[in-house]
A and B are shown apart, each in its own frame.
Chain A
């Protein structure tokens, strides 16, 4: 299955992926309208270190601890993609407790949020990858 993989040597730490993510999941068609004056809460997060940066989002694990631990049945695997049913999620944060990558986070409402590879929004493929200026994240089979 195609996943988003990290080339950490190439990551500039520019955080563009975070903005692309926030925009893609905003439901807006205009980037300025979507992001201006907004404190973004993206599903991908750049970690910055001493000369090293990289972006982290849901790894779409084959043995997803978040899905196994989900108390409401809101998380499931659909064709390899870990899918969140926001309507079922009560925001208990058991998935935050379970995810070894720290890739599920509180959302803007009750439900948590996570990367679904932009398959659940109008972008259709990972907006973070499309917008990365240095191929520090790629969407491919490995």
Chain B
């Protein structure tokens, strides 16, 4: 088989790539290879699926006609086993070899399962990353279930939210001393933890499972937690094996330039399997976030098709609901702090070197948060705007008249 473009993966980065390619090249042949046997779906929506806030049809990331509309051939349930950048070929586990013009690695990440004594004896244990994970968990839980979630990060807590109404008890254990450490500061973590605890979720922090016994997990603190279902959500690892075996530069994640090109000619990479440059901290890190994955994929697609695009404004950013409490966060929590806390919610802005570097918004203070995000992404010098005005409520009034004309009146920059 021979294709102009081959994409390994079928989630946000892959879809972004298709849409990027089609902005430039409406004709070239595209093949998507994915080991998951599903039409593209939104991974972050698996918790909403269990919660009953969406369903299999509505959680499709793109319409049923997406592949047809974009003239994309698909091989679902097929795994790519070897990549040969010199020959421009990709070997598949169905025995076929595909010759490509340009290739995108959008291989994502997979749950990391640390060794835990007795875990192999646990009958109902799950991870929470894919649609199949969610469907398997849904089948295992009953209204009498006592669920133990190992991991108080995004994945563990979204899982808790998803099954909250469907089980008897939910216990979350984490080695860290606070919840959501990657998206909140200490104060914010405490606030959100209290909210979730009031809803009835029990936390054991700075603690871990010493041993799983039948129906009981013994924690290192000495506590015992009854369970019948275990979810492991301690973290993810990027899927870099295909790249590594092909001799492509990898440092934890696949390394790319601003055009999302890897060290191998005609091979690009996007999404959770890659390393991004966080412009808020000026550091390289894996930013496994859907918006970033899409934008990387789109950039790669445009470049693969001969257009020009840069992925050079990456920052960590999260919008997350937790049992009715909303939080929006972005950037890094470094620098001088502006803080507001009242009955409406909790807000912190972080300013360094005359620029907004990060923010945390929890509760009813999330409105127009994107104005803050844009200040971080664009690295806007704060002396060019009325920052005092914008601290309390984000608004376009803080920008100079000339800038407002560009934003609202169609004036050219």
Residues of A within 8 A of B373 (CB): 97-98, 100
- Determine whether the beta carbon of A91 is less than 8 Å from that of B44: no
Provide the B365-384 mask, 1 if CB < 8 A to any CB of A, else 0. Answer: 01111110110010000000
A105/B367 in contact, CB under 8 A: yes
- CB of A52 within 8 A of CB of B397, answer yes
Min Cβ gap A138→B in Å is 9
Task: List, in ascending order, chain B residues with CB within 8 A of A99's CB.
Answer: 368, 370
Question: Out of B45, B61, B410, which one reaches A90, CB within 8 Å?
Answer: B45
A95 and B319 alpha carbons, distance in the complex (Å): 8
Interface residues as binary, A2-29 with B (CB distance below 8 Å gives 1, 0 otherwise): 0101111000000000000000000000
Contacts of A104 in B (CB 8 A): 370
Residues from chain A with Cβ under 8 Å of B368 in the complex: 96, 99, 102, 105
**Selected contact of B396 from candidates A56, A91, A110, CB within 8 Å:** A56
- Residues of A contacting B60 with CB < 8 Å? 73
Scoring A residues 100 to 123 as 1 if CB is less than 8 Å from chain B, else 0, what string do you get?
Answer: 111011100010000000000000
- CB under 8 Å from chain A, chain B span 45-68: 45, 48, 53-54, 58-63
CB distance from A41 to the nearest CB of B (A): 11
A137 nearest in chain B by CB position: B408
Within the complex, what minimum Cβ distance (angstroms) separates A84 from chain B? 13
Given contacts A7-B409, A90-B48, contact A98 B290 (CB under 8 A): no
**A62, B153: Cα distance in complex, Å:** 35
Give the complex CA separation of A10 and B71 in angstroms.
49
- Interface size grouping (class) on chain A: 35 or more
Contact B408–A5 (Cβ < 8 Å): yes
**Complex interface: stretch among B87-95, B164-172, B173-181, B291-299:** B291-299
Q: Which of A52, A94, A110 contacts B319 (CB 8 A)?
A: A94
B346-390 interface bits toward A, Cβ cutoff 8 Å, 1 = contact, 0 = none: 000000000000000000001111110110010000000000000
| Contact residue among B59, B321, B404 (Cβ-Cβ distance under 8 Å from A72) | B59
B395 on interface, CB distance cutoff 8 Å:
yes
Residues of B within 8 A of A92 (CB): 44, 319-321
B339 CB–A CB distance under 8 Å: no
Cβ–Cβ contact A93 & B328, under 8 A: yes
User: B1-23 vs A: 1/0 string, CB under 8 Å?
Assistant: 00000000000100010000000
Q: What separation, in Å, do the CA atoms of A72 and B369 have in the docked complex?
A: 19
Please pick, from A49, A56, A65, the residue contacting B408 in the complex, using a CB distance under 8 A.
Answer: A56
Q: Give CA–CA (A39, B147) in the complex, Å.
A: 41
Q: How far is the CB of A1 from chain B (nearest CB, A)?
A: 11
Interface-centre pick from A6, A8, A49, A72 (highest chain B CB count, 10 A):
A72
B407 touches A5 (CB 8 A): no
State the Cβ distance, A106 to closest chain B Cβ, in Å: 8
The verdict on B318 contacting chain A, using a C-beta distance below 8 Å, is yes
Q: Which residue of B lies closest to A53 (CB)?
A: B397
Q: Is the CB of B290 within 8 A of A71?
A: yes
Query: Is the pair B321, A100 in contact by a Cβ cutoff of 8 Å?
Result: no
Min CB–CB distance A78 → chain B (angstroms): 12
Measured between beta carbons, the chain A residues less than 8 angstroms from B294 are 68-69
In Å, the complex CA distance between A65 and B397 comes to 21
In the bound assembly, the distance between CA atoms of A7 and B42 in angstroms comes to 40
A94-B291, A96-B366 in contact; A6/B409 too (CB < 8 A)? yes
**Is A36's beta carbon under 8 Å from chain B?**
no
Whether B394 sits at the interface, judged by CB under 8 Å, is yes
A139 to chain B, nearest CB (A): 12
B408 touches A54 (CB 8 A): yes
B160 within 8 A of A: no
- Report how far A97 CA is from B409 CA in the complex, Å: 23
- Confirm or deny: B288 has a beta carbon within 8 angstroms of a beta carbon on chain A: no
Q: Is there contact, CB below 8 Å, between A96 and B295?
A: no
B150 within 8 A of A: no
Task: Check B317 for interface membership: any CB of A closer than 8 A.
Answer: yes
Query: Is B330 part of the binding interface, using a Cβ–Cβ cutoff of 8 Å?
Result: yes
Pair A97/B328 contact, Cβ less than 8 Å: yes
Chain B residue contacts of A106, Cβ below 8 A: 366-367
Q: How far is the CB of A91 from chain B (nearest CB, A)?
A: 7
Q: Are A97 and B317 in contact (CB under 8 A)?
A: yes
In the bound complex, residues from chain A placing their C-beta under 8 Å from that of B48 are: 90
CB distance from B269 to the nearest CB of A (A): 18
Of chain A, the residue at the smallest CB distance from B317 is A97
26 contacts between A and B (CB under 8 A): A3-B410, A5-B409, A6-B409, A8-B409, A47-B395, A48-B397, A52-B401, A54-B397, A59-B407, A69-B290, A72-B42, A72-B44, A72-B58, A73-B60, A73-B62, A90-B48, A91-B321, A92-B319, A96-B328, A98-B373, A102-B368, A102-B371, A105-B368, A106-B366, A142-B409, A142-B410
Top-4 shortest CB links A-B: A102-B368, A69-B291, A100-B374, A142-B410
Known: A59-B407, A92-B44. 15 other contacts (CB 8 A): A3-B410, A6-B408, A7-B409, A47-B395, A48-B397, A56-B396, A68-B291, A69-B294, A71-B45, A73-B42, A88-B58, A92-B321, A98-B370, A100-B374, A102-B369
